[in-house]
Amino acid sequence: MAVASNDMTPQAPSPGHTNGVVKACDPWPEPYYLEGGFRRVKPYHYTYNTHCKERWRNRPLEEIFLSEFRDRTPDYYRKALDSGLVTVNGKPAGRDTVIKNGQVLSHTTHRHEPPVSSQPIGIIHEDDDLLVIDKPAGIPVHSAGRYHHNSVVEILQADREDGWIARPCNRLDRLTSGVMFIGKHPKGAEKMSNQLRARSVQKEYIARVKGKFPDGVVVCDQPIMQVSPKLGLNRVRATGKTATTKFRRIAYYPPEWEQPARPAADTTEQSSDGPVPRPATPPPALYNEAEGYSIVHCYPLTGRTHQIRVHLQFLGHPISNDPIYSNRRVFGPGLAANESHGDRDEEIMERLNKMGKTELPDTGSYRNHFTAAPNLPIPPFWRRSCLASSRLRRRNYEKRKGERLSGALCDVCGTELYSDPGVHELGIFLHAVSYADLEGDWHYRSGMPNWGLPPYGLDGPREVPDWVPAAEGEEVVIGHGTVPPEIGGDDEPEARGPSLRIRFCWRALAC
């Protein structure tokens, strides 16, 4: 049996062990069942096998497990080491066992996969070589962390049931929805992957961000650096990698108390009683859209991790339900707008580390916390209605708030169980809406996500418009740590790009 070379890669279980590779005893489970708006997997035994990494050499196992893996609690890993669930080259290992180069580390666990949205994976296009899908938010692409069967690859393969192997050509974060390419055979996957690597494909995204995004086209070419791979944290840094994104607002919708009243029959939150809806993408935190929200067309010219999310945060308009970059508990009330220094990195990482539970390293899953609302000019005649709506939304939020340890224990392994994830942990308002070949040979497009549609009684686009380049001189370039003074930067910013030709309001960019 081949041993995978990546961290804790799952191996197909069968009895016994050979050549030091332990194999779990349970057969593959019946993978899926639907319940409560989730796709679920029954718990099953599983053995992870991995070769010793260079950074693990000559270190005790307890130190490795506690520093490298945050899938379970420290107490769980200590008990696993004490009870023989961890082996090295097929022999029981303890806390003080030192692993050496060439050895195989195995860990047998009773696996409890987190549930994911039951929304089906949409098919945009299919031919002999390629499957183009519309990925729902909240489902990881590959098996990773606590997810295996509940991943795009495994779900597609289970649906086909003919031994077909899904070969992803591009990758979206777990929290992101939209267009993805799946090769139906090795040559088909290689052809599309080569196009993506050659940067001959243009991507477009739609995001819903807090506040009123400025008019016109804003170009952000702030460099981005990965601050903490373990926490999935990326920040704007002068020493980071080159990153450029163009943004254009396609709609702005005012705060809830300024919108037309929805008839009682049409609302889904008139009462905190009854079933809680489980949309594929969650509502924003209570106060993150207190000044309204914008639907923004995003046009990335590079492909850095979290590029769109980080650039929007820097511009003062983070994605309104982003559990990392729109989290006041982590970044403070200003949400790190126009912040390109590392003075607060340690503090920010400490907060994320305390608040988070690792799921996938590129996304994280952090609970939204209620913090003080910004001081906003709410008309007196709206105040009572606004407060009542706020209380109702908070009660509903408390009912569906995030996945957390429930206090109940598994009858089989004794592990403390998690509650179901809240809707705010199933995705963010970021959707890959379009991929197009720059030579014009193909163009695949998804629709406007539900969270991008106009609210009840308001006009707005129901389809994502084509990206139209701005006229010469009508782009504002915000790059390399400088922001033009018209939108809150220094009085004498470094000259970059054409002069400012459209009017901005710093209040809009800082909210």
Q: Which residues are catalytic?
A: 173
| Cβ contact 288:320 at 8 Å | yes
Secondary structure (3-state) at 195: helix
In one-letter notation, the amino acid at residue 458 is L
Closest CA to 130 of 174, 86, 90, 170: 170
Ramachandran region, residue 420 (left: φ > 0; alpha: ψ -120 to 50; beta: rest): beta
| Cβ contact 423:279 at 8 Å | yes
Residues with Cβ within 8 Å of 271's Cβ and at least 6 positions away in sequence, in order, are: none
Q: What is the dihedral of CA 168, 172, 173, 178, to 10 degrees?
A: -120
Q: How far apart are CA 102 and CA 84, in angstroms?
A: 21
Closest CA to 179 of 215, 154, 211, 204: 204
| Cβ contact 472:492 at 8 Å | no
Helices (H), 7-130: 61-68, 74-82
Residue 341's DSSP bridge partners are: none
> Exposed, middle or buried: residue 326 (CB in 10 Å: 0-12, 13-18, 19+)?
buried
| Residue 400 C-alpha from the chain's centroid | 19
Which helix (H) or strand (E) segment holds residue 436: the answer is: strand 430-437
Ramachandran region, residue 90 (left: φ > 0; alpha: ψ -120 to 50; beta: rest): left
